[in-house]
Structure 1
């Protein structure tokens, strides 16, 4: 993993398209020295050689690196329609340090996935929500779509409250074509209701990836002594003894994530827990490892 792909380093780059390009280049460079192949449904230009494949299609350069036989893919084998589904609620703007907040982290990751998919000539669209669906950018593979998605992502700011289950239900009702749905959210709310809404997407035949983005402080709780916490969406303020509360809090976070992990696994939904300190190439690689284990 490279230090240049850490959130702190990328935050110095203001343009989202340049951030995404750096993430993708670093990620693909890592794949070149790894036996891992493929991303999302298939983000690779290769697949494993199967009996009956034309030996002329074997990529011997890949064989030299991996000692395994891969054949070049045809575009029809990899084509899929993807939708980024972005949580715009105010809680996504939380950051304990002066670094990337959850929303900025999610946006950079979403931009990187857009870059990868357009490299594959796959249609990509964008959906955003707070209390309901807001902006809709239909999935297209035309020239200029990458710029349109980047511009839309760059213009968004997190604000207001969220109704995640209702918004996901709207997404399930709106999408007609079987798609790859990539959700970016801190998943605040009732997990049972959120999982039920995710189930509607799976029932509609969609492939679903849940990127659960939390702030580094939300995961590790680096606080001591009396401290006030304010709910960014309701404004409610609670004072706690952080030192005495730490073990209970960390246990709750672990249970919260595990509830989503188990629920998603039951529905064959990919669940990717992230925090804002994780380098982006690591975030993509960890997802890829899960994906390959499932397929």
Structure 2
């Protein structure tokens, strides 16, 4: 016997779109307290879901997955069906309680600011928001900030006061020197023994040769990896005035360039770099998202939930058919 919801047996069966609204990040950045920023975004996100097709998916629903045809009917939560008119199954404890590490880039280039606040401030707000959300879901969250070295490290935990400690670490993080992604990824790989989720938040303005190797090792250990690329709009589309002086944010080197020639060449190199980056993610089954710093923070929250939703569906398929999840995604 199988059960099919009359409304929609699986609300995630079609690709979800990022929300169009959300709190204006320039307004959000005026809130000095990072914890309050994160709370503002998460509460707004939940309020928005009451007006969306995903009505009912809040922290309470993090312990459930949509029913899939063929699953054991004994796992159905009928009380939840009575309230939501949709079929859900209780997920196993090892699916609902996991360790998530936020690896946050605080290198010199993250200090770039062309719109009133830096990439660093935006990245810290994204990490704080996602940590706040996952804590509501009773997941353990940890933090690693870095530039050329590891600046701060906080093991993943879920206990009273831990989220506040994580917020303090983020608030005191300052832009440092150049970027070396090898060091934090090596540290995370050596630290997380059980399968977990790793969210790398960075502008990823770094050579990609060794990135594939480090990320590939994490995936081979069974870790879920999400890349959130934070970029200022001025970095995505270069607009120069005549006789422009360009400064490298990593090396501080300055050169005078022809604006038209430089903008065209920059555009080509930028697209080449990001195409290679997306290729790495697709090959390794990693979710990749570009986050312009003028986009609402709740887009990052949506991307995380979307990635988690896909993971949930893969777990269900794997449990029913014995197949091995292998697909990743890229968006930008």
TM-score (ref. length: structure 1): 0.88
Distance 1:184 1:209 in 2: 9
The answer to whether the 8 Å contact 2:49/2:57 transfers is no
Residue 10 of structure 1: aligned partner:
28
**Per-residue deviation, 1:86:** 1.2
CA deviation profile, 1:125-162 (whole Å, cap 9, x unmatched): 11122212232111111111110001110111111122
1:74/1:199 CA distance change after superposition, 3 Å: closer
Question: 1:5 is paired with a residue of what secondary structure?
Answer: coil
Alpha-carbon distance between aligned partners in 2 of 1:136 and 1:290, rounded to the nearest angstrom: 25
* Residue 92 (str. 1) matches residue 114 (str. 2): no
Distance in structure 2 (CA, Å) of the matches to 1:165 and 1:76: 29
Cα-to-partner distance string for 1:101-130 (whole Å, 9 max, x where unaligned): 111111001000110111011111111222
RMSD, aligned α-carbons: 2.5
Please tell me whether residue 207 in structure 1 is matched to residue 224 in structure 2: yes
Cα 1:284–1:181 change in 2 (3 A) is same
Where does 1:219-230 land on structure 2 (aligned, <5 Å)?
Answer: 219-230=236-247
In the alignment, the residues of structure 1 paired with residue 84 and residue 240 of structure 2 have an alpha-carbon distance, to the nearest angstrom, of: 48
Find the partner of 2:203 among 165, 186, 197: 186
Counterpart Cα distance in 2 of 1:222 and 1:87: 25
Q: Which one of the candidate residues 48, 59, 74 is aligned to 2:81?
A: 59
Aligned length: 288
Deviation at 1:179, TM superposition (A): 1.5
1:241 aligned residue (250, 254, 258): 258
Larger Rg: 2
Q: Write the mapping of 1:152-191 to structure 2, written as runs, cut at 5 A.
A: 152-191=169-208
Q: Which residue of 1 aligns with 2:233?
A: 216
Cα deviations across residues 68-99 of structure 1 (Å, max 9, x unaligned)? 4334556554111011111121111111232x
- Contact persistence 1:106–1:213 (CA under 8 A): yes
Change (3 A) 1:45 1:254: same
Distance 1:113 1:176 in 2: 22
Residues 1:24 and 2:46 aligned together: no
In the alignment, structure 2 segments of 5+ residues that lack a partner are 1-18, 315-332
Unpaired runs of at least 5, structure 1: none
Q: Which moved more, 1:217-226 or 1:71-80?
A: 71-80
Cα distance between partner residues in 1 of 2:295 and 2:208 = 24
Shift of 1:4: 5.9
> 1:102-113 alignment to 2 at 5 Å?
102-113=119-130
Asked if the contact 2:103/2:184 (under 8 Å) is kept, the reply is: no
Distance in structure 1 (CA, Å) of the matches to 2:302 and 2:292 = 14
1:270 matches 2:292: no
Q: Which residue of 1 aligns with 2:330?
A: none
CA positional deviation for 1:43: 7.6
What is the aligned partner in structure 1 of residue 64 from structure 2?
A: 46
Determine the C-alpha separation between the residues in 2 that align with 1:290 and 1:113.
13
Q: CA deviation at 1:48?
A: 0.6
Please say if residues 129 and 135 of structure 1, whose CA atoms lie closer than 8 Å, have aligned partners that are also in contact: yes
